[in-house]
Chain A
Amino acid sequence: MGYFIYLVTLIAIYMMVIISYAVPVGWTGLLTLGHISLLAVGAYTAAILMTHGVSFWFGLLAAALAAGGVSFLLALPARRIKEDYFTLITIGFIFVVNAVIVNWTSVTKGPFGITGIERPSGFEDPFAFMALTVLALLFTAFFLQRVVNSPFGRALESVRDDDLVAESLGKPVAKLRIVSLVTAGVFVGVAGAFVAAFLQFINAQVFWLDNVIFILAAIVVGGLASFRGAVIGTLVLYLIFEPLRFLPFPPGLIGSLRLGTFSLLLLLVVLFRPKGIMGRAQLGE
């Protein structure tokens, strides 16, 4: 039972990240891979504050603001740069954030990581914490739903489908891109605070390359521009993988099996079913 609660909490946190990122990727057509770094920014901001006596809730707020702010910086080039190059920058950003975490030891404790992160009072019980996380997830989903079903959301889609046309129709393409990235950033920051409180110990390892492909695959396999798709994509990927643990594979092989399955699925979807399970758009068409 405890394992199950643990899994649900973990999946809920990742789902927050995934549906947040579904907005810039699926609706705005920006292939960004920076989500893991923004998660790190959120988690570290929250962790640093919480280990200095700040409450979880303020830590959450700070994490959201910090991640949102960093997203803004990262989004600035989106104005002038071609899409491919933008993606490359977001990849590079993962390394930059990692370097900051590992080297800014006075603040982040470097390779030692931050220990002793407390859960919000009243929510120490794993079940209660899980409930809180799921609640946060639902709130995120609800909010983002409203966002993409609004005229703003439609404007985002027009930018994805053909930014030149959108520009000629007077849509502020650059601003739209930036706003969608920052919005995603803010919610991922929140997810980061949850990661910190959940694991109660973080270091640079947690925010490294393994999960980047998972998040991208979840969005693409589930289908772009669809929250249901993103959710289903996440669950499909996770539930394909977890049972593998119980099969008699040598434990060391599981890591590569996981990576291999996700990337293969991603590849197959791109090749044979670009809209994913229930997407409404494709990238690069």
Chain B
Amino acid sequence: MQSSSKAIIWVVVVLVILVGGYYLYRGSAPVETGPIKIGVLQPLTGDAASYGESEYKAIQIAAEEINKTGGINGRQIELIAEDSKCDPQAGGTAAQKLVNVDGVKVIIGGACSGETLAAAKITEPAKVILLSPSASSPKVSEAGDFVFRTYPSDALAGRINARYAYEKLGARKAAVFTELTDYAQGLREVYKTSFQEFGGEIVADETYNTGDVDFRTQVLKIKSKNPDIIYVVPQSPTPGVAIFKQLREAGVKAQFTTAEVLLDRQVVKDNAKALEGVIGVEVAVDYDNNPKANSLRTAHRAKFNSDPGSFAANAYDAVYLIRDAILEKGLNTGKIRDWLYGVKNWMGSVGAITIDKNGDPVMGENVRKISGGAVSDLGSYAP
């Protein structure tokens, strides 16, 4: 063997010993006392950071509230957050660290479906609970026995939106404008299929890349087809706001509709003009009347000086669900899993949640309207 190949092997061996030793030293056996470590796997940087941060903030608030009232069975919650960047590779690495180095039994995350699916590959064999507040891909339903979510599969929101558009708003010609990501494309496909099924026509189907800022050409194409209604699905708020801005600048006259992401309360406040009159579908969180949601909003304003963001309610509920599970069943993940599958009409900030055999929640989704920088409820609607 050549001398430098040998050198490579030696270097690798030495480093393996050093680094391995370090990790073995740090690796912890499960502790029966002391704080309960809960992993948080969220995109804190990158394109999905807006809701990664939104979810993380809500998770922090929930954990603080629980800790203030004595924690779980007297033990405080300790959150360990890792950045998954909405990337399967980063998600996998982050999950690895949380499971193997930090020794967590429960992870709340990911936000994106991609990172959730990658993390599931690691949490499943380790029998760690993975509870996602926002992954929407249908594939997550089959990702594993210990994988759950507090957000329904894509199919729901897109279909409700399409039906509402056709039946309630009387739209017959729809234009769809979506970002080229799994979340947005999932909604696009469901919307298109549903709208056409109800009898409508899709007159324009435009897309854009993550990071694009100039939408005028697509806006022009949409305008030239004279749609009654436009369905815009961005992955993060900024392009969504820009699209509506550019639609208005071009003088497009149609009903604007959107998905969850743009209903982020803070975004709505900051972009009142651009989002005026937009209708969207989101989980039935009622910040005014639901006591849990109300408490979330108050705490959020106090701690972060802003309103809860996208999926914040789902994340907040995720923490409380876990708390309830641990309160009843302790830290055995097999028992937590069984308890989660048995969840029926559990009251969260998003309303009642029931978890089905795939670990997916059955929960209400409502139609909302944005006006005057605030979100008002138009009631629930069947898919």
Direct interface between A and B, CB < 8 A: yes
User: Which residues of A come within 8 Å of B, CB atoms?
Assistant: 1-4, 6-8, 10, 102-103, 110-113, 115, 134, 138, 141-142, 145-146, 149, 199-203, 205-206, 208, 227-228, 231-232, 235, 239, 245-246, 251-252, 254-256
B117 located at the interface, meaning its Cβ lies under 8 Å from any Cβ of chain A in the complex: yes
Give A239 to B11 CA distance when docked, in angstroms.
13
Assess whether B100 is in contact with A252, with CB atoms less than 8 Å apart.
Answer: no
Contacts A202-B88, A228-B4, A255-B44 known; 18 new A-B pairs at CB < 8 A: A3-B100, A4-B20, A4-B23, A7-B19, A8-B16, A10-B93, A102-B180, A111-B184, A113-B88, A115-B139, A199-B121, A203-B114, A205-B88, A205-B89, A235-B15, A252-B49, A254-B83, A255-B45
In chain B between 1 and 59, which residues have their CB closer than 8 angstroms to a CB of chain A? 1-2, 4-5, 7-9, 11-12, 15-16, 19-20, 23-24, 26-27, 44-46, 49, 53
Q: Lowest 9 CB-CB distances: which A-B pairs, in order?
A: A255-B45, A252-B44, A3-B100, A2-B100, A205-B87, A6-B96, A111-B182, A145-B2, A251-B81
In chain B between 166 and 185, which residues have their CB closer than 8 angstroms to a CB of chain A? 180-182, 184-185
User: Which residues of B come within 8 Å of A, CB atoms?
Assistant: 1-2, 4-5, 7-9, 11-12, 15-16, 19-20, 23-24, 26-27, 44-46, 49, 53, 81-83, 85-89, 92-93, 96-97, 99-101, 114, 117-118, 121-122, 126, 137, 139, 180-182, 184-186, 209
Assess whether B2 is in contact with A252, with CB atoms less than 8 Å apart.
Answer: no
Give A231 to B6 CA distance when docked, in angstroms.
12
Q: Show 25 residue pairs from A and B whose CB-CB distance is below 8 angstroms, ordered by the A residue.
A: A3-B23, A3-B97, A3-B100, A4-B100, A7-B96, A111-B181, A115-B139, A142-B2, A145-B5, A201-B114, A201-B117, A201-B121, A203-B88, A205-B85, A205-B89, A206-B88, A208-B87, A228-B7, A228-B11, A231-B8, A235-B11, A239-B19, A251-B82, A255-B45, A256-B45
| CB proximity of B212 to chain A, nearest CB, Å | 12
Give A235 to B82 CA distance when docked, in angstroms.
22
| CB proximity of A135 to chain B, nearest CB, Å | 11
Give A146 to B5 CA distance when docked, in angstroms.
10
Where chain A touches its partner, the secondary structure class is: helix
Assess whether B23 is in contact with A1, with CB atoms less than 8 Å apart.
Answer: yes
Give A227 to B44 CA distance when docked, in angstroms.
35
* Residue ID in chain B nearest A12 by CB atoms: B12
Assess whether A199 is in contact with B8, with CB atoms less than 8 Å apart.
Answer: no
Residues of chain B with a CB closer than 8 A to A231's CB: 8, 11-12
| CB proximity of B100 to chain A, nearest CB, Å | 4
* Residue ID in chain B nearest A117 by CB atoms: B121
Residues of chain B with a CB closer than 8 A to A149's CB: 2
Residues of chain A with a CB closer than 8 A to B24's CB: 1, 4
